[in-house]
Amino acid sequence: MAKYIIKRVIMAILTILVVACVTFVLMRSVPGSPWNSEKAMTEQQIATLNERYGYDKPLPIQLLTYLKNALQGDLGVSLKMQKDRPVTEIITTMFPLSAKIGVVALVWAVLVGVPLGCLAAYNRGKWVDSLLRVVCTLGISMPGFVIANFLLIGLTGQDSLFGLKAIFDASQGAKAYFMPCVALGLYPMCYVARLTRSSMLDSINQEYIKTARAKGLKTGKIIFKHALRNALIPVITYLGPLVAFTLCGGFVVESVFSIPGLGRYFVQSISNRDYPIIMGTTIFLASFVVVMNLVVDILYRVVDPRIDLTKGGV
Amino acid sequence: MAEKKRKKMIGSLQPNVDTMLEWNDLTAEDFAPATQGEKESFIPQRASISYWRDAWRRLRRNKVAMVALGVLVLLVLFAFVGPLIVPYGYEQFNQGAENLYPWHYSLEDQARLDEATGATGGTMEERVAAAIEQARAEAEAEGKKFTRADEAMIRAQVRSSGGTGAGAGSQEALAQAKRELGIHYQPFGYSIAELQRIEAGEKVFPHVFGTDNNGRDILARTMYATRVSMIIGVAAAAIVLVIGSLYGSVSGYCGGRVDAIMQRIVDVIYSLPEVLVILLLSAVIGPHITAFITDHPGALADFLRTVGPNLAAMFVCFAILYWVGMSRIIRGQVLTIKQQEYVTAARALGASGARIIRRHLLPNCIGQIVVTACLQIPSAIFLESFMSYLGVGVTQPLASLGSMCRDALAGLQTYPYRLIIPAVIICIMILSFNLFGDGLRDALDPRLKK
């Protein structure tokens, strides 16, 4: 177990390192300097700016400096959008809101998706199953922005239902989070439901379920205590990619509902070509996803003792 | 001999020695050439069914997949044949036909409505002047400055609305008047001028889905956008197919250290969130491609200019990132296939690795390859629409379904159909590809059935 964990941690660190190096090199390879803005600058000014931000040194040294700073939590400063404000500070002020919406969306997706999957599996071939299958296939075929915009059109017309607002307003409390979380969680919910259904079907047909039934256990107990436990393993493996999906889906949902979160800011920084912010956010989010994947993978081995730990990753 | 036959227990695995002994009792006749009749009896009565025909037979029985296939065929017709029928181009500005709804009132109804709502009588110029006056008065009452830009905006609004009156207040009045007069919508959008031309006996093609604020026909745009989205989906799947199956088969066939290193690379790529990397790459590759277009004129630059730097960046991303899933599946398949005797036989005959992969390994995982590639199409379309929606996808004047949704955001409350139409088409397209892919999987590889 320890060997496996060490191996995975090394892989994760390597991945993050690769991301950091690649983003850095990409950032430097963009044609034109970061100072190409509306105002024309003299050679002197550019040289001063280059010296100030350390852009005059050779590239490998810049890379090492950047990595060293990044390790100490310094990802550089914004060049355009919020001039000279540290990227780390921008991330720490904006990420909590994105994380909040993401977590709520994830939680409801799993809490609703798993029972729905069980329901479909238990009623296999009946109308409940067919209905759920149609709904879930439709759910995974709708891009997030379509769901978000349909919610917007449907729920926030002239006679807005329940006082839902098209533009995110944190002072509204839970009401403000309703639509973003629904829009973000629908796809994962449908995916989780489909996944649960298929793995439930596998485990329902196992011998030990027959044994449990023969012992006279109640259906509810059989489903939730015996079948579901084993059926949940694929769902747990999916949680890692799910976190990545929710993060990226957050970009769209935050744009649609004008939520001042990190995702929307990231997209804005791309159209503004504020490279330090793009790179800093990419490294941060990628590291986040990599770490979440790591945690989920280790958790997965802990949950299912049948999996051979000595064989390792693949 | 019959009585000498040894007794054999029922179900015994002991071979029947007597019949085996008889094998040696061959006469000269046994070596005579077979007659024509005997030869013919060896030819199977039923034509042998090929892999593909068998799969097709199974697929045809799957109703859902067949309906999905039908919808896909319709969408292909819509995207590739439709623009030949609709006389409007996707970037053609139809002057005087801006902001049309996908419905219209007949000329008489329009006249009655104008009369009922009252204020908007007279010629176009008078209406414009009245609207500007009203807006200026409102602005002054609120203590705001009324700029020339505002004036131009109102002028454009009044003109484009074809005289039906702009603003929320007149919308309500319009709705009320409509109810009182019992006027109903007529399907398809026509501008007033076009209605007059029809009156004069001319034939005018309707704006079936209305027009946008530049007077571009939404039906034509949707058709081109569907075409763009489909091409992207199929092209992405092709890229993934080539790179993924090559990488996967080489990794699986070589095994050992080569496999280990190749799989670590896959692991690194696999754990990255693709969307994030694509956003990053499009931000960085975009300027490079723009620079390339200006520096190197030629066919490639022309092509890149048409698709736009963002889209080219997206293809680069597919080539860099998206093949990992495919390569893993192919590798797993190759690992089992390469143990089979025919591969050993090929190797013993001196076939090179490349030949074994090409002639023996890949053809035997063709089912998996086709299914994975087919399921890659909807995810590529999904991703493309996502990127275009965020504004880092296709560039103007080219339209994709995602960018049409993005363009529709400006007037979402007034013209929701501009978003709903492309959005619904995306959903139908992805849904049909998903359902068809699932059906294909069941048909090509029943073992994979979930």
- Between these two residues, A205 and A189, which has the higher pLDDT value? A189
Give A32→chain B minimum CA distance, Å.
9
Q: Do B386 and A145 touch (CB under 8 A)?
A: yes
With a CB cutoff of 8 Å and minimum separation 6, the contacts of B431 are A137, A138, A141, B68
H helices of A75-173, in order, are 87-122, 127-140, 144-155
How do residues B18-70 score in pLDDT, each as one tens digit?
777 777 777 777 788 888 877 777 776 666 677 778 788 888 887 888 888 89
Contacts with B, A 249-278, CB within 8 Å: 251-252, 255, 266-267, 270-271, 273, 275, 278
Q: Does domain A87-311 match CATH 1.10.3720.10?
A: yes
Report yes or no: B394 and B309 within 8 Å, Cβ to Cβ: no
The per-residue pLDDT for B118 is: 58
> For residue A17, what are its two tokens?
């390192």
Q: Do B419 and A290 touch (CB under 8 A)?
A: no
Q: Do B378 and A141 touch (CB under 8 A)?
A: yes
The number of angstroms, rounded, from the C-alpha of A123 to the middle of its chain's C-alpha atoms is 32
pTM over 0.90: no
Contacts with A, B 401-430, CB within 8 Å: 402, 405, 409, 412-413, 416, 419-420, 423, 426-427, 430
Distance between CA atoms of A260 and A241, rounded to whole angstroms?
A: 24
Task: Give the Å distances, CA to CA, from A25 to A30, A60, A149, B281.
Answer: 9, 9, 37, 12
Task: Give the Å distances, CA to CA, from A276 to A88, A178, B313, B425.
Answer: 10, 33, 20, 38
What is the chain B residue with the closest CA to A25? B284
Q: Do B405 and A273 touch (CB under 8 A)?
A: no
Superfamily in which the B218-448 domain is placed by CATH? MetI-like (1.10.3720.10)
> For residue B308, what are its two tokens?
């736009």
Distance between CA atoms of B357 and B245, rounded to whole angstroms?
A: 10
**Which residue do the tokens 């090409």 mark?**
B358
H helices of B255-322, in order, are 256-270, 274-295, 299-307, 309-317
What is the arithmetic mean of pLDDT over A222-242?
80
Q: Any idea where the domains of chain A sit in the sequence? A: 87-311
Q: For residue B7, what is the DSSP state? A: P
**Which residue do the tokens 């104008």 mark?**
B114
Q: Any idea where the domains of chain B sit in the sequence? A: 96-199, 218-448
Q: For residue B411, what is the DSSP state? A: G
Whether chain B has a CB inside 8 Å of the CB on A135: the answer is no
Nearest beta carbon to residue A143 from set B276, B277, B386: B386
What is the interface pTM, i.e. ipTM, of the complex? 0.78
How do residues A132-156 score in pLDDT, each as one tens digit?
888 888 888 888 888 888 887 777 6
Whether chain A has a CB inside 8 Å of the CB on B265: the answer is no
How do residues B61-118 score in pLDDT, each as one tens digit?
878 888 888 988 998 888 887 777 777 766 666 666 666 666 666 666 666 666 666 5
Contacts of B391 in chain A (CB under 8 A): 267, 271
What is the arithmetic mean of pLDDT over A230-234?
81
What is the arithmetic mean of pLDDT over B199-211?
68
H helices of B308-365, in order, are 309-317, 323-337, 341-348, 353-356, 362-364
Closest CA to A113 of A218, A198, A221: A198
pLDDT reading at A88 higher than 50: yes
Whether chain B has a CB inside 8 Å of the CB on A141: the answer is yes
Whether chain B has a CB inside 8 Å of the CB on A37: the answer is no
Closest CA to A283 of A23, A8, A13: A23
Q: Do B267 and A314 touch (CB under 8 A)?
A: yes
Nearest beta carbon to residue B267 from set A11, A153, A158: A11
What is the arithmetic mean of pLDDT over B404-413?
75
Task: Give the Å distances, CA to CA, from A216 to A124, A206, A220.
Answer: 22, 16, 12
What is the chain A residue with the closest CA to B282? A270
pLDDT reading at B345 higher than 80: yes
Contacts of B272 in chain A (CB under 8 A): 15, 19, 286, 289-290
In this structure, which long-range contacts are made by residues A68-77, counting pairs with CB atoms below 8 Å and at least 24 apart in sequence? Answer: A70/A20, A70/A283, A75/A276, A75/A279, A75/A280, A75/A283, A75/A284, A76/A276, A76/A279, A76/A280, A77/A53, A77/A276
Distance between CA atoms of B272 and A63, rounded to whole angstroms?
A: 21
Question: How many of the other CB atoms lie within 10 Å of CB of B366?
Answer: 14
Contacts of A248 in chain B (CB under 8 A): 273-276
Report yes or no: B404 and B422 within 8 Å, Cβ to Cβ: yes
The per-residue pLDDT for B449 is: 45
Distance between CA atoms of B345 and B351, rounded to whole angstroms?
A: 9
Give B447→chain A minimum CA distance, Å.
14
pLDDT reading at B12 higher than 80: no
Burial of B87-106, coded b for 16+ CB within 10 Å and e otherwise, reads ebebeeebeebbbbbbebbe
The per-residue pLDDT for B167 is: 42
Of A10-24, A25-39, A256-270, A279-293, the poorest mean pLDDT is in A25-39
